[in-house]
Amino acid sequence: MDLNNFELEDLLLSAIKSEEETSKFYKKLKKKTKNGLLQDKLKFLAKEEEKHKAFIEEIYLNHFPDKKINLPLQTPVPLPKIKITKETSLSIIFVEAMNAEEKDLKKVVKSIIRFFIFQIWKLVTTKF
């Protein structure tokens, strides 16, 4: 998925949606485990995603103060489909989820940086 074709607004909305979906994912996993320690960790991870979502929402509202946050139905970078069965160990689920999150975060950050570099380039070239 090439995120270079997206505007900043779309990237931010997609990032908000992704944080929301990831939080729901951790909450779903929490319900599936009976281990209290793992439940606490999953609750913590879900809350962290909610903090990330609030942070990105703040950035969005600063850049687009006249717009309401209207999330897409799905993100251009959807969560990976991790098949969870009774035999799937939680360690496998965590490893797959963390790998996917790291990969997706790198894509979004890279695209946002490219967007800002392009905006700076446009400013510099139009002044001269």
User: What ranges do the domains of the chain cover?
Assistant: 3-127
pTM for the whole structure = 0.69
pLDDT in tens, the chain (128 residues): 555 677 888 888 888 888 898 888 889 888 877 888 888 988 998 998 899 899 989 999 999 999 999 998 877 665 566 666 767 777 777 777 777 667 666 666 666 677 667 667 777 777 65
**Contact between residue 77 and residue 109 where contact means Cβ atoms under 8 Å apart:** no
For 3-127, the fitting CATH number among 3.30.830.10, 1.10.3470.10, 1.20.1260.10, 1.10.760.10 is 1.20.1260.10
**Contact between residue 4 and residue 80 where contact means Cβ atoms under 8 Å apart:** no
Nearest to 82 by CA among 73, 92, 74, 72: 92
* CA–CA dist 72, 28 (Å, integer): 21
Nearest to 21 by CA among 53, 63, 55, 59: 53
